[in-house]
Amino acid sequence: MTPREEQFRDIVQEHQEMVVNTCYRFVFNREDAEDIAQDVFIEVHRSLERFREDSKLSTWIYRIAVTKSLDHLRRLKRKKRFSSLKRMIGAEDPAINIAAPSRDNPEEALEDNERIQVLQVALDALPDSQKTAFLLSKQDGYSNQEIADIMETSVSAVESLVHRAKKKLQELLEDYYRRH
Amino acid sequence: MPRMSHNDMHTREEVKRTMAVLDGIRPIEVHPGFRVRLMQRIEEESNAGALTANGIASRLNYRFALMLLLIIINLGSALVVLLQNAGDSAPAISEILGNFGDEYSSSTFAYYQEPAPYAGEPLEAAPADLQAP
């Protein structure tokens, strides 16, 4: 094994848990999260020699994870739009698969699933910066400073983004539950 | 403070519970085959990359050959045209040169009148006192 390969193996070993869970926070689906994480590490492998050490290696990797997750969500959004268009013209209606957080009780799992779907719709309505700051703040292991580094902004900006995201989500969810 | 209606309370409760789901998401464990699959994908990609590079190289070779062929055809046709024109243009050039010579040697453009000796007249004899003994 070459030193480069060895270095890459160590990077994967060290960061895979955090990368997969970061992606999972965005997509709420284990398979998708692992697929995105694979893309993240392929990108890392491709660009490792170009990494300029302007930031920490971990920050750079998590930034790639966030970018790839957001890209995935955008693709999903486009797909959803296309499928609703298909529904309108009477074509097939592919189901959107969303995995719920694991629960022992199937009833609770189903309820969580529904809530996750509602949350996803609400999160989709947030701007990317608010969504990123909010979701990363919900994940263990990220300090506000780290989130700021990943987003290439200041800690105060992150705090403001999280606050605005919470407020907006609250409004969106209230609106949803009032109607349903 | 206005009293909250039952509906409002219900809405707030639902919102709270939905937001709590997000806090309740437990971290997932990475699949044991994650790294193996990743290394396979990287290997596949590097192989595909090599194939693509070969493809690009062969495509460049084709382009280069085509460019060379076009240049040769262009040069060849230019040469043929030149050779065809060479026979026609030779008299034309000598004609132009002849005309040019005639025009500038005519009296109109002459700088001076030709002196008498050149006109073929005999020279006048010098006065006797000036003649050498």
Residue among B14, B24, B38 whose CB faces A101 most closely: B24
Question: How confident is the model over A61-65, as a mean pLDDT?
Answer: 96
pLDDT at residue A122 above 80?
yes
**Per-domain residue ranges of chain A:** 1-99, 100-180
DSSP output for A94-129:
PPPP-PPPP-SSHHHHHHHHHHHHHHHHHHHTS-HH
Q: What is the mean pLDDT of residues A65-80?
A: 92
ipTM value > 0.85: no
CB-nearest partner of B42 from A42, A118, A178: A42
pLDDT recorded at residue A9: 93
Q: How far is A94 from chain B (nearest CA, A)?
A: 26
Give the pLDDT band of residue B128 (cuts 50, 70, 90).
low
The contacts of residue A128 (CB under 8 Å, 6+ apart) are A70
pLDDT at residue number A55: 82
Just give the CATH number of A1-99. Answer: 1.10.1740.10
| Interchain CB distance below 8 Å, A115 and B18 | yes
Contact A68, A40 (CB under 8 A): yes
Q: How confident is the model at residue B9 (pLDDT cuts 50, 70, 90)?
A: confident
CA angle B51, B55, B59 (to 5 degrees): 170
Note the pTM of the prediction, 2 decimals.
Answer: 0.67
Whether A18 shows a pLDDT value over 50: the answer reads: yes
- Minimum mean pLDDT range among A63-72, A157-166, B10-19: B10-19
Question: Rounded mean pLDDT of chain B?
Answer: 74
Q: What is the residue-averaged pLDDT of chain A?
A: 87
CB contact under 8 A, A12 and B38: yes
Say yes or no: B28 contacts chain A, CB-CB below 8 A: yes
Of A20, A41, A42, A40, whose CA–CA distance to A31 is shortest? A20
Q: Which of residues 124-153 of A touch B (CB under 8 A)?
A: 138, 140
- Residue of B10, B18, B34 with shortest CB distance to A118: B18
A14 CB within 8 Å of a chain B CB: no
Does B34 reach chain A within 8 Å, measured CB to CB?
Answer: yes
Residue B7 in contact with partner chain A when CB distance is under 8 A: yes
pLDDT (0 to 100) of residue B90: 58
Long-range contacts at A68-74 (CB < 8 A, ≥ 24 apart): A68/A23, A68/A36, A68/A39, A68/A40, A68/A43, A69/A22, A69/A23, A69/A25, A69/A26, A69/A27, A69/A36, A70/A26, A70/A128, A70/A131, A70/A132, A72/A23, A72/A26, A72/A27, A72/A32, A72/A36, A73/A26, A73/A27, A73/A124
Please state which of the four CATH numbers 1.10.10.10, 1.10.645.10, 3.40.50.10420, 2.70.98.20 is assigned to the domain occupying A100-180: 1.10.10.10
Q: Which residue of B has its CA nearest to A172?
A: B15
| Residue A163 pLDDT > 90 | yes
Question: Of the ranges A94-98, A114-118, A169-173, B53-57, which one carries the lowest mean pLDDT score?
Answer: A94-98
Backbone torsions φ then ψ of A60, nearest 5 degrees: -60, -45
* pLDDT of res. A93: 43
Q: What is the pLDDT at residue A106?
A: 72
Option in B11, B17, B28 nearest A178 (CB): B11
Q: Which residues in chain B have Cβ-Cβ distances shorter than 8 Å to A47?
A: none
Q: Which of B11, B22, B35 sits opposite A177 (nearest CB)?
A: B11
A vs B, Cβ pairs < 8 A, gives 73
Residue A39: name the closest of B28, B45, B49 by CA.
Answer: B45
B27/A38 CB distance under 8 A: no
pLDDT per residue as tens digits for the range B62-107: 788 889 999 999 999 999 998 888 766 655 666 666 666 555 555 5
The pLDDT of residue A74 is 93
pLDDT the model gives residue B118: 52
